[in-house]
């Protein structure tokens, strides 16, 4: 009977875990502490085209071809045999940016094509922003302008031409 009680006590001790400690629960084999996590949501960046603004290459004669260049400041010039008509005006396009105050962003513009109003004639142009990057002010605002270079073919068809291009801003 003594053996039976000793065997029962050993089995009970084993079942309760008091007879020995497993390596997984032994003192010093594990440690747990809480970590930290944070998050900050910022205002999305928003690009807006200024109402009425347009990259205006002006009014010109094509001659034997060349280019019309409009700087990001809005001044125009021609190359080759292209010549401005009297009273022609040029203008850079204009955009505003809103977002997280004091955050920097990059500016990218793409090339485009203008198409004649009454035919399928086209002219390609490249664009150039006033800056490749900028920083929003303390109120979360900024602006930039876009100039470009229009390629005019020899004897380009006389017509009014219009087209579009894309501008993109991205937080840095």
Q: How far apart are CA 84 and CA 61, in angstroms?
A: 6
- Residue 61: half-sphere exposure toward Cβ, Cα within 13 Å: 7
Average pLDDT over residues 11-34: 66
Q: Does residue 167 contact residue 112 with C-beta atoms inside 8 Å? A: no
Res. 103 pLDDT band, cuts 50 70 90: very high
- CATH label of the domain that carries residue 94: 2.60.40
Domain count, the chain: 1
Domain that holds residue 74: 46-171
pLDDT at 20 over 70: no
Has residue 36 been placed in a domain? no
Residue 96 corresponds to which tokens in the numbers above?
């505003």
Has residue 100 been placed in a domain? yes
Which has the higher per-residue pLDDT, 21 or 91?
91
What does each C-alpha distance from 73 to 55, 61, 131, 148 come to in angstroms?
A: 11, 23, 11, 11
Q: How far apart are CA 172 and CA 152, in angstroms?
A: 36
Q: Is the pTM of this model over 0.95?
A: no
Has residue 28 been placed in a domain? no
Has residue 11 been placed in a domain? no
| 55-100 tens-digit pLDDT | 999 999 999 999 999 999 999 999 999 999 999 999 999 999 999 9
pLDDT for position 27: 77
What does each C-alpha distance from 86 to 58, 65, 89, 119, 157 come to in angstroms?
A: 10, 18, 9, 25, 19
Average pLDDT over residues 46-54: 98
Has residue 35 been placed in a domain? no
Q: Does residue 63 contact residue 83 with C-beta atoms inside 8 Å? A: yes
**Mean pLDDT computed over every residue of the chain:** 90
Q: How far apart are CA 101 and CA 140, in angstroms?
A: 4
């Amino acid at each position: 009977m003594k053996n039976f009680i000793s065997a029962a006590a050993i089995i009970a001790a084993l079942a309760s875990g008091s007879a020995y400690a497993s390596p997984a629960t032994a003192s010093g084999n594990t440690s747990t502490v809480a970590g930290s996590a944070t998050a900050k949501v910022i205002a999305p960046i928003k690009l807006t085209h200024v109402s009425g603004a347009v990259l205006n290459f002006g009014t010109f004669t094509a001659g034997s071809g060349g280019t019309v260049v409009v700087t990001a400041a809005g001044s125009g010039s021609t190359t080759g045999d292209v010549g401005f008509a009297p009273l022609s005006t040029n203008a850079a396009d204009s955009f505003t940016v809103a977002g997280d105050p004091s955050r920097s962003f990059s500016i990218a513009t793409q090339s485009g094509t203008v198409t004649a109003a009454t035919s399928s004639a086209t002219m390609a142009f490249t664009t150039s922003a006033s800056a490749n990057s900028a920083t929003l002010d303390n109120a979360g605002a900024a602006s930039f302008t876009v100039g470009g270079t229009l390629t005019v073919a020899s004897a380009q068809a006389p017509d009014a031409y219009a087209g579009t291009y894309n501008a993109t801003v991205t937080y840095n």
